[in-house]
Amino acid sequence: MRKIIITLLLVFGFSLMGCKKSEKPTLLVPAGSPLIAVAGMLDDVDYEVTIGPSLLPSEFIKGEKDIIIAPVIIGAKLYNVGSSKYKLAAVIGFSNLYIVSRTPLNSINDLDNKSMLAFGEQATPGIVLKQVTQDINLDIEWGSDIKEMIAPFKTKRHDYVLISEPALTTLKNSLEQEVYVMSLKELFLGEIIQVGVFINPNSDKNLTKILNKINKNIEYLNENNVAYAKKIINVHEQLKEFGEKTISSSIL
């Protein structure tokens, strides 16, 4: 099964050498898979971790951070309407969306006349889910955060939930019974672009150096997932909550 797909894809060849000030660049990153993707290089930045996406739009608008890691759809929308100056420099998260079920799923038609708990109604998860289920009758209940997906499935209040890694591994490890997983990528028929690295074009820091650090970090974690999990486990409280086994298992 496909897990977190973390691959650095440079979008623009920016010249971001800046003035090479001694202060570390500032970086904002959401908890979850984006945090896992960059946790090994956070010593090189002055970072802040946000839980959930609710604070991201205001941070784009304020324009104070040198780098913001965020869902591509949020940064792109704000840039296109002139509310943000941040430009997409790289994509680091793809196709990390799954439907979890108590019974085997052979096709999307198996969800016809069913109900599902999902997250990200106005973001990429919700947009993709609505697109791949548009031809069936699926009643979707929307939660505000991915953490809200786990308990209702465990308590059998919902038999189908939309989820992503590392929450998927956390859920599976907490259950005794087998669960069935279908990747939205298989239904979408293509990679789903989710998380991007956005840079502040007015920054006076060496952001090219930071992008290279992110690149090397991602190369390392893809080649050494177990060692990487051990390395980053104490970087942030949420990583401790996940645990080494969950982190290493959720990396492709």
In DSSP notation, 60-79 reads HHHT--SEEEEEHHHHHHHH
Contact 249, 61 (CB under 8 A): no
Residue 1: predicted pLDDT: 36
What average pLDDT does the segment 158-168 reach? 95
What average pLDDT does the segment 134-149 reach? 93
Domains of the chain: 9-94+192-250 (3.40.190.10), 98-188 (3.40.190.10)
Give the up-direction half-sphere exposure of residue 244: CA atoms within 13 A in the CB hemisphere. 11
Q: Which residues pair with 68 in a beta bridge?
A: 28, 198
pLDDT > 90? residue 9: no
Residue 14: predicted pLDDT: 55
pLDDT > 80? residue 8: no
pLDDT > 70? residue 18: no
The proportion of the chain whose per-residue pLDDT surpasses 90, expressed as a percent, equals: 79
What average pLDDT does the segment 175-197 reach? 90
Give the tens place of pLDDT for each residue, 84-119. 999 999 999 889 999 999 999 999 999 999 999 999
Residue 6: predicted pLDDT: 59
Q: Which residues pair with 19 in a beta bridge?
A: none
What average pLDDT does the segment 47-69 reach? 94
Q: What are phi and psi of 82, to 5 degrees?
A: 80, 15
Residue 186: predicted pLDDT: 85
Nearest Cα neighbor of 135 from 109, 101, 104, 105 is: 109
Give the mean pLDDT of the chain: 90
CA distance 131 to 137: 12
Residue 189: predicted pLDDT: 73
Nearest Cα neighbor of 47 from 194, 247, 217, 177 is: 217
* Neighbouring C-beta atoms of residue 110, cutoff 10 Å: 16
Q: What's the whole-model pTM score? A: 0.87
Contact 148, 71 (CB under 8 A): no
pLDDT > 70? residue 160: yes
Phi-psi region of 8 (alpha: psi -120 to 50; beta: other; left: phi over 0): beta
What average pLDDT does the segment 65-80 reach? 96
